[in-house]
Each structure stands twice: as C-alpha cells, then as structure tokens.
Structure 1
C-alpha cells in the first residue's frame, strides 16, 4: 500500500515534520551495550565487584584472561580505578544531559 507525501503530512502533521525534516530527538544511548567495567562501576564494594567479575566469567560474557586482568586491577588499584560509581538513574541522567 502506497501513500503520497501530502496525504502523510495532512494526516500526521507532527510525525511528518519529524520524519521529513529530521527534527526528531536522537537517543544518545542507542546501540550502547554495557561492558564489564560498566557493571563493575555499579558495585558498592570490592566484594561486589568480585562477584560481578565472577558472574560475567561464569555466564561467558568475559573470558578467563579478561576476568583475571579485571581481578588484578581490582586488587592492585582498587575499585575507584574503574571510574566513579554509577548510581541509580545514571543512564537516565546521562541521556537527559544532566551532570552528576
């Protein structure tokens, strides 16, 4: 079924403007997949970070070498070496452009 552009503009004026003029809002997190460090940055303690690494290794998200590298960094440099903690609502605030 084909529709012409004028019909589309008449029936869906706001959607037509967004689609045809490119005025839509882009999602800054589109296509983003959190990695091991993103999950570790949610941990509240070294023990929680160790549990995250163990889990990711157990389910096959990371290999043994990467898990050992993350554990070594955690032991030698501490939890803070992965970056500041990502608290509740971090990604909502990030997408909205709100600084923490």
Structure 2
C-alpha cells in the first residue's frame, strides 16, 4: 500500500506514526487454530488463560489492576509487563484489551476465540 493510500485509509494511525506517538505491547504468543499431527480426534487440549484473558473478564479498572498484581506476584508476568499493562489500563481503559468475555465464553465460542 502506498503512503498516500495508507494516510487516506487510516488517518489517525498515519498521524500517530508520523509523530512517533505509537505504543507497543509485547505479545508473548499468537492464538490461532492449527491441527497438530500428534493429536487424535476427540483428544482435548488444555488452554491456559493469560493476563489479557483475565483482564477481559473484569468489570472495572481496579479489578484488572488486582489481577495484574496477582499475576506479577505469582511470577506469571514480569515487572515490566505489569507496568506496561497498568499504564495501558490507566491511559486507554479496560476495553483497550478487547471486548468483555462473559461467563462461559469458551463454552459458547470455543477455545480459539
């Protein structure tokens, strides 16, 4: 895509990139459905939710901050990750991590979503 077309299609993003105001968040993995040759039909895999999965279940920012502190205390996220997540929560809000995952989300939508 040419720069001009990009600027027309995504004006806010183009402006942020030009001004150097982009934000980053390290992604520790990618989620997608992929058939594993070693798995047999009917064999279930265990899905371990990460900090973002738990945050997406929260109703308030204080709840999400409590989750972040808990995950940090257990050593499941690093101090720098916790700091970045807290900053994003305070500046961009709870739903910047995605829509709220309601109760029984995986029961209705499956593991890959």
Q: Structures share a fold, TM > 0.5? A: yes
CA RMSD of aligned residues (A): 2.3
Equivalent position SS for 1:34: coil
Q: Map 1:15-94; keep pairs closer than 5 Å.
A: 24-25=41-42, 27=44, 30-94=45-109
Distance across 2 between alignment mates of 1:55 and 1:32:
19
Runs of 4+ off more than 4 Å: none
Equivalent position SS for 2:110: helix
Shift in alpha-carbon separation, 1:47–1:96, aligned structure 2, 3 A: closer
Q: Which structure: larger Rg?
A: 1
Task: Count the aligned residue pairs.
Answer: 74
Report the structure, 1 or 2, having the larger helix content.
1
Shift of 1:59: 1.1
Q: Where does structure 2 lack aligned partners over 5 or more consecutive residues?
A: 1-39
Q: Where does structure 1 lack aligned partners over 5 or more consecutive residues?
A: 1-21
